[in-house]
A and B are shown apart, each in its own frame.
Chain A
Amino acid sequence: MRQDAAGGVKGRRYGAAFFMTESRRYPVLRLVVGRLLGALPTLWVVVTLSFLLVRLAPGGPFDDEQRLPAAVKANLDRAYGLDRPLPEQYLRYLKGLVHGDLGPSLRLRDRRVADLVREGLPVSLTLGGLALGLALVLGLSGGVLSAYRRGRAWDRLLALASVLAVGLPPYVMAPLLVWAFAVTAGWLPVAGWEAGRPLDLVLPVIALALPTAGSVLRIMRACVLDVLDSPAILAARARGLAPIRVLWGYVLPASLSPVLAYLGGAAAGLLGGSLVVESVFGLPGMGRFLVEGALNRDYTLVLGKVIVYAVLVLMLNLGADLAILALNPRLHEQRSQA
């Protein structure tokens, strides 16, 4: 039987010990599944809270400046199921959600929220993904350079650059970049989006990436400085390892975790930034219609997009956790033994 195999040759390890040996088998798989399942209740609470919050609002989506006749309004409410008791609406919404249906938009005629998400998501993901990649490349290399040149010209220059990058959020950066590179120099398009025109993405990605790059740089610099002072690095250098091997084999793995842990925060920042960058550059992403939707009480649109965003943030956090784990075998062992 499997128990005997897992329980060892002596065959006396049952109960808790049995589960322990079992859990050592696929620690990573178990962890991934565990974290995914752990994220579900969080997501459920987010959905429920958002739903309740949105429905607590006084007034409805059909209260315009010009008042609709009562009969028309009643008909609209009935058509969208808004006349039902709240618990029923809630259950209905959950049921739709499980099937990937986010309901109809209440203000954009004949549009379904899931379709709007499907249109916008690729654009936003491309923008956000590229920006995150650029931010990591710039921030990590800048942080390492800064730490290696502690107190010298490069370090000061990069410190100044990171202050500028963090203090000039995307909505300031974006118009400045447009002014400099598109209006004045004329090298890049001012705004717009056509599939297959990568030049359209250059300015938005830079504007979105810079603040995150600045934060990553600061975190990375602090970590690398810490690591450089550690005995492990002294030992590696004393053994005569080439500086580049010390960097790749010792410094980087040891200093990456805090940066990865920061990625959850970065996700929130990128998300907010992408709302603005999309609107400044006229990109048809997820942020489209969202602010208008919040202002004119398009419940389903706001709710649907908020949920999609929350899923993205949760997923990025999970990915970061797993990456930290992959970098640090010690954590990994502790988890599976606990």
Chain B
Amino acid sequence: MSTRLRLKASLTILAALVLLALVGPWLSPWQVADLDWDHPAIGPSLQAAHWFGTDTLGRDLLVRVLAGLQVSLAIALIATGVGLIIGVATGALAGSRGGLTDAALMRMVDVGYALPVVLVALLLTVVLGRGMTTLLMAASTVGWLSTARMVRTETRRLAEAPFVLAATVMGVSRLRIISRHVLPNLMGPVLVHATLTVPSLVVLESFLSFLGLGVQEPAASLGNLLHDGARDMERAPWLLIAPAALLLVVVGTLTVLGEALRDRVDHVE
């Protein structure tokens, strides 16, 4: 498929998913935590007005899946944003200052890489207890490390570019060079990087929530839905299949989008 087509297709699917996640729960007759005492653990059924079935407590799965998607996407987006801001700042600082600052910052990044995010999440759980804050902080560290490395490399490359030299010769201040000449040129790669970070954070969120470290009941996220689904799989397989399929579609679409963007940005350069 051509890059254009992939870009269009993935953006369309993504827009549809986001719309569904935002509007769906609002249109449904059920709420996320509503219990339908008459229909616990029934399979997908139009008659009972549970299109995806219900869980063992009789909560409507469709609403929970959509609300879960909303939470998962929100967490992934916020964490990507936070990671991006810190990462770009660190990377640009390290890349433009060089010397001791560079060495110190990059050592920090190395240390971060030695500590997988699951462990960071576990350590943070000891400090903060489980919940959203822990999840967001742990997830932000993921994007931060790789962004910092990439931005540093790109900054160093740009620092040797003729137009930066020209700006330096004309006496433009360092801060201004970074903000007006270096950062705008970084937008492409950073955007691509961020887009590719989002799906991995969706997976991470579901993973930590699956372990019980993330989003807590009765709120839904893809992770704790998968957890419940895995637990009740033998009597109610739809509880696992629906969130798993949604996770697959979301992660797949985001990955295709990121890669199409990368191809396009490369192409333009």
- CB B243 to nearest CB in A, in angstroms, measures 8
Given A167-B203, A297-B126, A310-B114, 16 further pairs, Cβ under 8 A: A42-B114, A50-B123, A169-B203, A172-B244, A179-B237, A267-B116, A268-B117, A271-B119, A276-B207, A294-B213, A295-B130, A302-B126, A306-B119, A306-B122, A310-B115, A313-B114
Decide: B247 and A172 in contact? CB cutoff 8 A. Answer: yes
Please give, as numbers and ranges, the residues of chain B lying within 8 Å of A313 by CB-CB distance: 114-116
What's the tally of chain B residues with a CB closer than 8 Å to chain A?
Answer: 40
- Of residues 61 to 81 in A, which have CB atoms within 8 Å of B's CB atoms? none
Chain A residues near B116 (CB, 8 Å)? 267-268, 271-272, 309, 313
Type the 1/0 row for A23-48, where 1 means its CB is closer than 8 Å to any CB of B: 00000000000000000011101100
Does A167 contact B247, Cβ atoms closer than 8 Å?
Answer: yes
Most buried by B among A169, A271, A275, A291: A169
CB interface residues, B 95-132, toward A, < 8 Å = 107, 110-111, 113-119, 122-130
Stretch of A51-59, A114-122, A227-235, A251-259 at the chain-chain interface: A51-59
Main secondary structure of the interface of B (DSSP, over half): helix
A291–B122 CB distance below 8 A:
yes
**Which residues of A does B touch, CB under 8 Å?**
41-43, 45-46, 49-50, 53-54, 56-57, 163-164, 166-169, 171-172, 174-176, 178-179, 183, 264, 267-268, 271-272, 275-276, 279-280, 290-291, 294-295, 297, 299, 302, 306, 309-310, 313-314, 317
Taking a contact as CB atoms under 8 Å apart, the answer to whether A179 and B126 are in contact is no
Q: Judge whether B114 and A46 touch: CB under 8 Å.
A: yes
Whether B123 lies near A302 (C-beta < 8 A) is: yes
- Please tell me if the beta carbons of B114 and A171 are within 8 angstroms of each other in the complex: no
Q: Which residue in B123, B247, B252 is a CB contact (below 8 Å) of A53?
A: B123
Assess the A276–B114 pair: CB atoms within 8 A.
no
Specify which chain A residues have a CB less than 8 angstroms from the CB of B128 in the assembled complex.
Answer: 57
Say yes or no: A309-B207 contact (C-beta < 8 A), given A53-B126, A280-B230: no
* Chain B: minimal CB distance from A82 (Å): 14
Using CB atoms, name the residue of chain A closest to B244: A172
Q: In the complex, what distance in Å separates the CA atom of A163 from the CA atom of B211? A: 23
Residues of the B chain whose Cβ atoms lie less than 8 Å from the Cβ of A56: 127
Query: Across the two chains, which residue of chain A brings its CB closest to B116?
Result: A268
For A317, list chain B residues within 8 Å (CB): 113-114
Whether B229 sits at the interface, judged by CB under 8 Å, is: yes
Interface residues of B (CB under 8 A from A): 107, 110-111, 113-119, 122-130, 203, 206-207, 210-213, 226-227, 229-230, 233-234, 237, 240, 244, 247-248, 251-252, 255
Q: Tell me if A's interface is mostly helix, strand, loop or mixed.
A: helix
Q: How far is the CA of A290 from the CA of B125 in the complex (A)?
A: 11
Q: Are A171 and B226 in contact (CB under 8 A)?
A: yes
Q: Which 3 A-B pairs have the closest CB atoms?
A: A268-B116, A175-B230, A272-B118
Q: What is the minimal beta-carbon distance from B207 to any residue of chain A, in angstroms?
A: 6
A167-B252, A168-B244, A291-B212 known; A264 and B126 CB under 8 Å? no
Cβ-defined contact, B233 with A314, below 8 A: no
Interchain CA distance A268-B233 in the complex, whole Å: 28
User: What chain A residues lie within 8 Å of B207 (beta carbons)?
Assistant: 169, 171, 272, 276
Report whether B127 and A54 are in contact in the complex, using a CB–CB cutoff of 8 Å: yes
Given contacts A54-B123, A268-B116, A272-B117, contact A291 B211 (CB under 8 A): yes
Most buried by B among A171, A271, A317: A171
Kindly state the separation between the CA atoms of A279 and B123 in the bound complex, as whole angstroms: 19
Contacts of B234 in A (CB 8 A): 179, 183
| Interfacial chain A residues near B230, Cβ < 8 Å | 171-172, 174-175, 280
B residues within 8 A CB of A176? Answer: 240, 244
Across the interface, B240 reaches (CB within 8 A) one of A41, A175, A314, namely: A175
**A224–B122 alpha-carbon span in the complex (Å):** 38
- The CA-CA distance from A100 to B128 in the complex, in Å, is 29
- Contact between chains at A172 and B111 (CB < 8 Å): no
CB distance from A132 to the nearest CB of B (A): 15
Contact A306 B123 (CB under 8 A): yes
Please name the residue on chain A nearest to B122 by beta carbon. Answer: A294
> What is the minimal beta-carbon distance from B263 to any residue of chain A, in angstroms?
12
A173 smallest CB distance to B (angstroms): 9
Residues of B within 8 A of A272 (CB): 116-118, 207
Is the pair B123, A45 in contact by a Cβ cutoff of 8 Å?
no
- Complex contacts, B233 vs chain A, CB 8 Å: 175, 178-179
Check B240–A172 contact: CB distance below 8 A.
yes
